[in-house]
Every structure is written in C-alpha cells, then in structure tokens.
Chains A and B, each alone.
Chain A
Amino acid sequence: MFANYVPVIVDGLVDAALIFFVAVGLTLVFSVARVLNVAHGSFYALGAYLSVVIGMWLTGHGWIVASLAALLLSPILIAVALGPLIERTLLRWTYGRPEALQILVTFGLFLVLEDMQKLIFGVEPYSQDTAVQLFGVSHISGIVYPNYQLLLIVLAIMVGIGLRLMLRQTRIGKLIAAVVADQEMAQTIGIDVSRIFVLAFTLGVLLAALGGALASPMIGVAPGLGAEAIVLAFAVAAIGGLGQIEGAALAAILVGLTRASAIYWAPEFQPVVPYLVMVAVLLVRPYGLFGSVGLRRI
C-alpha cells in the first residue's frame, strides 16, 4: 500500500526542494526589506543559464567533474555581481514606499533582466545534464531515481537548517534577526542596518540563483524560466506567510507533494496546483500559514 505512494512522495520532495531554494530567498528578502521582489525569478533564470553555459564550456574541454563546480560557482558569481549593485541602486529607493511602487520598480527590473538574459544567452533553449549522468541512479521500491534528485532533497534540508542556524547562532544572523524584528530599534542600538540589507538581499539572490543552477541539469533552460519561477515562488511564499522561513519550507513541501500527486492523477492540471493551494490557504488564513498582522493603533 505504502509502496504505491513512494514515487509520489519522492517526486514531491524533489519538487519541493527546487521550489524551496527560490521561495526561501524571496521570503528572506521580504522579511528584512519588506519588499516583494518581482525580479527574484530572474536571478533563478540567470543562475540556470550561467551554470549551464559554464558547465558546457568545462565539459567541452574535458573537465567533466569540474562542471559540477559550475553549479555552485555560478550562483556565487551572480549574487556578488548583482546583489549589492541592485540593492544599492534600485531596491534601496523603494524601502518604506507603497507596495504598488515596490512591485512596479522590481517589475521594471524584471523586464530589464529578462532582456539582458536574452541578449547575453540568446533565445535558443539549452540543456546540460552532465550532473545527473555523473551521479548515477538508485532503486527505491523498484523504481529508478537519479541520485542527483535525491541529493537535491538533502541539499534543500541542509540549506533550510543552515539558514535557521545562521539566523539563530551566528553574529551576522542575529543582526539580521534584529533588523527583521524591529528595524528602528536595531538602528538605535547601533546596528549598521544598511549593510544588513545588502547582505540579506545578496543572500536572497544567491539562493534564487542556486535554485536555478541546481534545477538546470533537470530542465531545458529557455526564455520564460524566470517568469515561471517567480509566480511559483510568490505562491509558496504567500502560502507559508510572507517573511516566514519555516513557512516557506512547509509550503514548498505542501506544493511539491500536491504537484507530484497531480502529475499522477490529473497531469494536465499540475500547473494550477500551487495557485489553488494558495487560494485555499489564504481563504482560511488571510496572511498565510505562519503569517499574522496586528491591529493598527488608533
């Protein structure tokens, strides 16, 4: 009986892992800067493109194992190159402004990044699955799974726990947590809030790009990837409660499992699932699973 569900659960968790990277980055940036970044999906797409291109170059030169490094290297390159730059210029301007403006500014950024991506990488689809090949396969209840997929689940759990530990245990994490809790107070006690914002945003970019890079060996990398990633990340972040890391993790699992179930039983409606889950959750809990909002003092 249970064995029947194993494929759904494994597929669901793989899906959840991939969603988690991009959604947790979005929610982390929101928790610190209170800005919903529409361009977040573009970092995912750039991560995928860059790792594929570097990976193809390395494979082409015979450095097959080294191409794995591209999966980790390219997110770092993107985060370092774009994170501080975008935070210092565009995002900073939106802090404390109405949501409509924040969404618009980041939408403008999204349009620019999408076309930059087309200009740099072209519009032809890429695929590069060396990583999946390298890791071989496992058999679970008679079904063949690429080890790479199982590795993704482990990586997502590690990143989730790592983020938690970082925010709780490390100095920089505690500073971030303080800014999240009360920005004014954090400023008053001498925390360099502006530096924390740069850090948190760059970390968000890193996570999105990492999500894209890790997904790239399993998907075709083509224009429109970022647009798809961001709406999915929105849904997951909203389900979990904006700004809630545990919420994003739980929501990713929820959406991953539901999507995997849909693939088995009603494949054509699989893309609708995240949004239906989101609508259902927000109907019952208007601020998401872990979210809450206090009354305004009058």
Chain B
Amino acid sequence: MAYSGPSVFGAFDMVVWQLLALAVAAMALPVAVPWLGFVITVAIGKGLAALGVAMLLRGGLISIGHALYVAVGAYATAFLMLSVGMNELFLLLVCTTAITMASGLVIGAFMARYRAIFFAMLNLAISMVFFTLLSKLYNLTGGSDGMRVATPTVLGVTLDRTKFDLVLQFSAVALMVVVALLIDRYLKSPLGEALTAIHANEVRLEYLGVSARGVILAVYTISAALAGLGGAITAVAIGHVVPELSYWTASGQLVLIAVLGGISGVPGAFIGAFFFELVRTFAADFVPDAWNAIVGVALLIVIFFLPQGLYGLLQRVKMRKARL
C-alpha cells in the first residue's frame, strides 16, 4: 500500500520557480537602478555564506564564526592572484571554493565533537584567531590595510571594470541558482534530513547506526565551501580584502541574514541577503550611525513575529492562496 499524503518533499519544482523568480529580480533591478548591480553581487556573496550558516542552523548548530570562511575565501582569492598569478575568474572561484572546503574539513573534524553553545564559541574563537593573524601578519596579509584584488580576466578576456562588474553580477546570479538547487537536493536527501534529526534527537540517530559527527562534518564542510565561494565573489566584487571580513560581528551578520530570510528553504538565505543589503544601502545614506540598530530591531521583530523568516512568510501567503 502506498500513501499519497501531502508530501513535504514534493516541493522541488516550487523551489526551482522561486529561485528563478529571485534570479530575474536580481538581474532586472540593476537595469532600472544601475548602481544596484554591485549591491546584488555582494548580496549573493553574503547569501551563499548565509546559506551555509542556515544549513548548520537546521542541525541546531549556531556558528558565530563562519565569517572565518568568507575571509579564507576572500584572502585565498587575493593570494591566488598575487602569488600564484591566477587571473581567470572562474578558475579562481573553483580553486578558492576547494581551498575553503579543505579548511572546513580540517576544522570541522574538530568542531563536530561539540554542540550548542560550545560549538558556537569554538567557531567564534577560531575565527577570532584568524582575524588577529590577518591583522598582525603585516608582511603577508598587509595587516589591517588588507590586500588589493585586481580585476580578473573572464575566459581569457580582459574586461574594463564596468563590463566586468556586469559579467560578475550575471555569474553570481547563475551560481546562486545552481548552488541553491544542489543544496536543495542535499537537504532533502537522508544526509540532509539527518540534520533536522540531530536537532530533534541525536541519541536516536546514533541508535539508527548513523554517526552524528559524520553528518555534522559533512554539513560543516559544505557550509565552509559555500562561505568561501561567497568570500571569493565578495573579494573580486569589492576589489579589496580586509581582516574585518572575519570579525565576529560579520559572523553574527551571517546568522542574522539566515534567520531573517528563514531556514526552512534554500531561497530564504538569499531573500535575507537581498533584504539586508538593500536596507543597509539605504540606511547608510539616511542614518549612518543607526543602521545596525535598524537591522537589530528587524531581527528581533522577525524572531518574535515571523519565526519562519521572510521565506516562511512567502510560503504562508502562498498556502493561503492555494486554500482559497
């Protein structure tokens, strides 16, 4: 006998449409307001990192150190260009992602032993160690001045900055869709569902013969790779990397974006990132000293009144329509 109830999993197509809608918005907005192209690119970089954080949150793990991997990605890009002479955009993105993934695997092997507050604080500690090293190793990293990142070539072609920014924006949008779909598949696989299971009952999961540490190591490594990719996009978009990328408040921001957007589906992280970057861009003009407070209040409002985040709000509206 087969049960054909309301499947939680059958939403794959829905996610495809949501992501495409997001992609269209991300490409159309800058057509109307050209300078928003840069904001969109940076938002996608943040969204990728926030998606990694959101995946961990599904497992009940809060990392207030994930900006570490954004910084690893950003600095890896800077070093690959400066020391290795790698100049090709797509090669840079691939290599950087691989490097951060490897660092995530090594550090994750250690982190997977810890849960709850200790997981949060160890991530914080390691990111702060990295932050200090970036600030102090002046000869290597340029200290608190950071490093400049030149404009890479795209498929061997050298572009002027305006064209490059446009290519980068389109590439970022395409990457967002592809990566989000892959992560969606992963989250709906047993390995991804095991995350929610760890959050609910880790003991039972072990009693199914599953290594909770293995599940956590897998998600941690993937989340590091995502943050690294985000960091690489940020580095080439801004053209400059600084130690503050890894400061703990940047990590806090990633968690904030993940929760603001909602962790119940992959589009959430990107919705959160767009919202965050747009608010920041406008607030920085009008109330430069209070935009953090605005974002903080927005976060509290979302936590208290929209526990599923903005994405959850979207889903609720849709469900209501479906019922009518």
Chain A interface residues toward B at CB < 8 A: 36, 38, 90, 93, 98-101, 103-105, 107-112, 114-116, 118-119, 123, 227, 231, 234-235, 238, 242, 268-269, 271-272, 275-276, 278-279, 282-283, 286-287, 296, 298
Given A100-B57, A108-B300, answer yes or no on A234-B132 (Cβ-Cβ < 8 Å): no
CB <8 Å contact, A111 and B289: no
Query: Closest B-chain residue to A30, C-beta based?
Result: B117
**Which of B133, B289, B299 is within 8 Å of A118, CB to CB?**
B289
CB <8 Å contact, A272 and B129: yes
CB <8 Å contact, B293 and A116: yes
CB <8 Å contact, B289 and A123: yes
CB <8 Å contact, B259 and A112: no
CB contacts (< 8 Å) of B57 on chain A: these are 100
Complex formed: what's the CA distance from A231 to B251 in Å? 12
CB <8 Å contact, B121 and A114: no
B286 to chain A, nearest CB (A): 14
Query: Closest B-chain residue to A287, C-beta based?
Result: B118
CB <8 Å contact, B255 and A119: no
B169 to chain A, nearest CB (A): 29
CB contacts (< 8 Å) of A275 on chain B: these are 125-126, 128-129, 132
CB <8 Å contact, A115 and B290: yes
Task: Scan residues 262-295 of chain B and give those whose CB is less than 8 A from a CB of chain A.
Answer: 289-293, 295
Complex formed: what's the CA distance from A86 to B240 in Å? 39
CB contacts (< 8 Å) of A238 on chain B: these are 118, 121, 125
Query: Closest A-chain residue to B113, C-beta based?
Result: A286
Given A279-B125, A298-B203, answer yes or no on A108-B303 (Cβ-Cβ < 8 Å): yes
When A and B form their complex, which 10 residue pairs have the shortest distance between CB atoms, in order from nearest? A111-B296, A115-B293, A275-B125, A100-B62, A108-B299, A112-B296, A108-B300, A108-B296, A268-B136, A111-B292
Given A115-B292, A235-B121, A286-B118, answer yes or no on A107-B252 (Cβ-Cβ < 8 Å): yes
The A-B contact count (CB < 8 A) is 120
Chain B interface residues toward A at CB < 8 A: 57, 60-62, 64, 110, 113-114, 116-118, 120-122, 124-126, 128-129, 132-133, 136, 203, 247-249, 252, 255-256, 259, 289-293, 295-297, 299-300, 303-304
CB contacts (< 8 Å) of A298 on chain B: these are 203
Query: Closest A-chain residue to B127, C-beta based?
Result: A275
CB contacts (< 8 Å) of B256 on chain A: these are 104, 107-108
Complex formed: what's the CA distance from A279 to B303 in Å? 31
Main DSSP-derived SS at the A contact region: helix
CB <8 Å contact, A278 and B125: yes
Complex formed: what's the CA distance from A90 to B64 in Å? 20
A38, A111, A235 — which one has the most chain B CB atoms within 10 A of its CB?
A111
Chosen A-B contacts, 9 in total, with CB atoms closer than 8 Å, are A38-B64, A103-B117, A104-B62, A107-B296, A107-B299, A108-B256, A108-B296, A112-B300, A271-B132
Query: Closest B-chain residue to A116, C-beta based?
Result: B293
Query: Closest B-chain residue to A234, C-beta based?
Result: B121
CB <8 Å contact, A279 and B299: no
Given A104-B303, A110-B296, answer yes or no on A227-B128 (Cβ-Cβ < 8 Å): no
CB <8 Å contact, A38 and B117: no
**Which of B203, B289, B296 is within 8 Å of A119, CB to CB?**
B289
Main DSSP-derived SS at the B contact region: helix
CB contacts (< 8 Å) of B60 on chain A: these are 98-100
Complex formed: what's the CA distance from A93 to B303 in Å? 11
CB <8 Å contact, A282 and B118: yes
Given A123-B289, A276-B129, answer yes or no on A101-B303 (Cβ-Cβ < 8 Å): yes
Query: Closest B-chain residue to A227, C-beta based?
Result: B249
CB <8 Å contact, A112 and B293: yes
Given A116-B293, A282-B114, A298-B203, answer yes or no on A90-B300 (Cβ-Cβ < 8 Å): yes
CB <8 Å contact, B118 and A231: no
**Which of B62, B132, B289, B297 is within 8 Å of A99, CB to CB?**
B62
A158 to chain B, nearest CB (A): 29
CB <8 Å contact, A99 and B117: yes
CB contacts (< 8 Å) of B110 on chain A: these are 283
Complex formed: what's the CA distance from A234 to B64 in Å? 12
Complex formed: what's the CA distance from A275 to B57 in Å? 23
A104, A115, A118 — which one has the most chain B CB atoms within 10 A of its CB?
A104
Complex formed: what's the CA distance from A284 to B318 in Å? 50
CB <8 Å contact, B116 and A99: yes
Query: Closest A-chain residue to B116, C-beta based?
Result: A99
Complex formed: what's the CA distance from A51 to B249 in Å? 26
**Known pairs A99-B116, A103-B120. 5 more at Cβ < 8 A?**
A36-B120, A100-B255, A103-B62, A227-B247, A269-B132
CB contacts (< 8 Å) of A108 on chain B: these are 256, 296-297, 299-300, 303
CB <8 Å contact, B297 and A286: no
Query: Closest B-chain residue to A103, C-beta based?
Result: B62
CB contacts (< 8 Å) of B248 on chain A: these are 227, 231
CB contacts (< 8 Å) of A105 on chain B: these are 300, 303
CB <8 Å contact, A38 and B304: no
Complex formed: what's the CA distance from A271 to B130 in Å? 11
Given A98-B60, A269-B136, answer yes or no on A104-B289 (Cβ-Cβ < 8 Å): no
CB contacts (< 8 Å) of A242 on chain B: these are 117
CB <8 Å contact, B62 and A111: no
A135 to chain B, nearest CB (A): 32
Complex formed: what's the CA distance from A231 to B61 in Å? 18
B252 to chain A, nearest CB (A): 5
CB <8 Å contact, B62 and A282: no
A259 to chain B, nearest CB (A): 12
Query: Closest B-chain residue to A223, C-beta based?
Result: B289
A266 to chain B, nearest CB (A): 10
